Structures are given as C-alpha cells and as structure tokens.
Amino acid sequence: MALFTKKHKISSRRIHEGSIINLRIDQLRLEDGNTTTREVIEHPGGVVVICQPKPDQVVLIKQYRYSLDRELIELPAGRIDNGEEPIEAAKRELIEETGYQAKKWQSKGVFATAPGFCNELLHLFLASDVAVVERQLDDDEEIEVITLPIKQAWALATSGEMIDTKTIAALALILQEQA
C-alpha cells in the first residue's frame, strides 16, 4: 500500500474557487512509479456543537438541505470563518442557529468528514450551563430547534430518521462517555 504525502505530488491545479469550497485536481506519483489523479475538495473546516441544557438532553435542529432535497435533523454546526478560532465559531453558530449561549465549553476532538475526497475537519464541542438568548439566523437559514432526551435523539439515528453523520458520530461519543 502506497502512502501519499506531499513529496509524491507532481502537480496541482485548482479548477474551482467558490465561497464555501474550492476544487483541485492533483497528479501523484505512486511508490511503484506509476501516476494517479486525485480530486480534492478544499474546505475551511467547521464546528459541531453538542448543546446540553440538562445532562440528559441535547439540542438538535431541523433544516432543509438543498444538496439532498430534504429536511435533516442535525446538531448545530457551521463553517469556521477565515481567521476565526474553532471555539469562537462554535459559540457563534450555537447562538445563530439555536438561541442558546453556553458558559461551559469542552473540546471533544476533531474528525474528518469525507477524507477520500475532502480536507474538511470538524471540531466537536460540548456546550453546557446554557441560557436562552436571541437567535441570530443567517438570511438564508430556516431552522427549527428541537430539544430531546439524548436517548430519544439516538433512537432517531438507529431508526434511520436521522442520517447526518456528524450528528450520529457526536451522539455516539457522548452516549459512550455517559455509559
């Protein structure tokens, strides 16, 4: 099995620059001397927030996702703005999407969303000791806030009603820690 590192890159060509993602095509040299192509989506990274108003509850959102043409149930999440620290993005996104503000924040790690073709990393945070403040939705967001017992949220994942992988992974992590 060949390991691909920057030293194996022959060339790189960006074919799209967008407001959310960029797309590039890289030519790589394999260990055996052959070449291959990789298409890479460049993403600035994001945050995911497990907001717990009470230790056995979790705040979820329901929103329409155009790329899938359906509503999804997810944890609050969002993109990290240029120059923004992940914790600041998490605090901003939680208020924007849910109207909750937390006093306690704990990092729960970083994970890759789709490492086969995308460099996006998501920073997971646990938010507790929360208070309700005014929500600050972006102009294009229509979000319903849902607060459920964690076990009920997990039931949505195991039934197939919840399909968002970042949410499923984060809920599994928290449930494992609480076990």
For 153-168, how does the pLDDT look when each residue is reduced to its tens digit (9 = 90+)?
A: 999 999 999 999 999 9
Q: What's residue 73's pLDDT?
A: 98
Residues 81 and 14 in one domain: no
Task: For residue 157, tell me if it sits in a domain.
Answer: yes
pLDDT at site 160:
96
For residue 156, the cross-strand partners are none
93, 142, 144, 177: which is the annotated catalytic residue? 142
Whether residues 81 and 25 share a domain: the answer is no
Residue 11 burial by Cβ neighbours in a 10 Å radius (0-12, 13-18, 19+): exposed
Compute and round to an integer the Cα radius of gyration of the chain: 19
User: Which segments in the chain show pLDDT lower than 50?
Assistant: none
Same domain assignment for residues 38 and 51 = no
CATH number for 150: 3.90.79.10
N- to C-terminal Cα separation, the chain? 38
- Tally of structural domains, the chain: 2
Residue type, position 26, single letter: D
Q: Same structural domain for residues 37 and 55? A: no
CA distance 149 to 134: 23
Which sign, positive or negative, has the C-alpha torsion 91, 92, 97, 98? positive
For the question of residue 120 being annotated catalytic, the response is no
Residue 130 lies in a domain: yes
119, two tokens: 């460099």
- Closest among 136, 160, 139, 178 to 50, alpha carbons compared: 178
Question: Residue 90: what pLDDT?
Answer: 98
What confidence score (pLDDT) does residue 139 get? 77
The predicted structure's pLDDT at residue 3: 62
Would 141 be classed as within a structural domain?
Answer: yes
Question: Is residue 1 assigned to a domain?
Answer: no
CA distances (Å), origin 19, targets 23, 42, 83: 11, 11, 15
Spatial contact of 125 and 87, defined as CB atoms under 8 Å apart: yes
Q: Residue 120 is part of which domain span?
A: 46-178
